Amino acid sequence: QVQLVESGGGLVQAGGSLRLSCAASGRTFSSSAMGWFRQAPGKEHEFVASISRGGGGRYYTNSVKGRFTISRDNAKNTVYLHMNTLKPDDTAVYYCAAAAGRRALALGTFAREYDYWGQGTQVTVSS
């Protein structure tokens, strides 16, 4: 069992930066692939980024490439999402997710590929 708690969201002006953190409990964090998703009002869950168990593999949705960076610190059981050059379209609730077992072998881009989810943190980008 993995419990995930996101933090770091807030209100920022367009062009600004935020760093989201996701702290995980449990001893399986280092064996879990991690992902970030977001959901804007009236829209479906959207994949943002994923990172492999050791951190060497990373994958991003096209709209955030070059602006967002996913990273992890297995010693601290924490995954991060560094967001730069934020745009109003980035406004959403951001969720981190963990993929365990065989699912951890892939850099999943679909919500169904993840087993555990945090409660989300709101990011609002004003124009």
Looking at residues 78-85, what average pLDDT do you find?
98
Q: Which of 63, 83, 62 is nearest to 71 (CA)?
A: 83
pLDDT of res. 27: 73
Give the pLDDT confidence of 5-54 residue by residue, as tens digits: 999 999 999 999 999 999 999 778 888 999 999 999 999 999 999 999 99
Do residues 108 and 35 make contact, with C-beta atoms less than 8 angstroms apart? Answer: yes
Statement: residue 102 has pLDDT above 90: no
Q: What percent of the chain has pLDDT over 90?
A: 87
Q: Average pLDDT of the chain?
A: 95
User: Three-class SS of residue 123?
Assistant: strand
Give the pLDDT confidence of 45-62 residue by residue, as tens digits: 999 999 999 999 999 999
pLDDT of res. 11: 98
pLDDT of res. 105: 83
The 3-state secondary structure of 40-91 reads CCCCCCEEEEEECCCCCCEEECHHHCCCEEEEEECCCCEEEEEECCCCHHHC
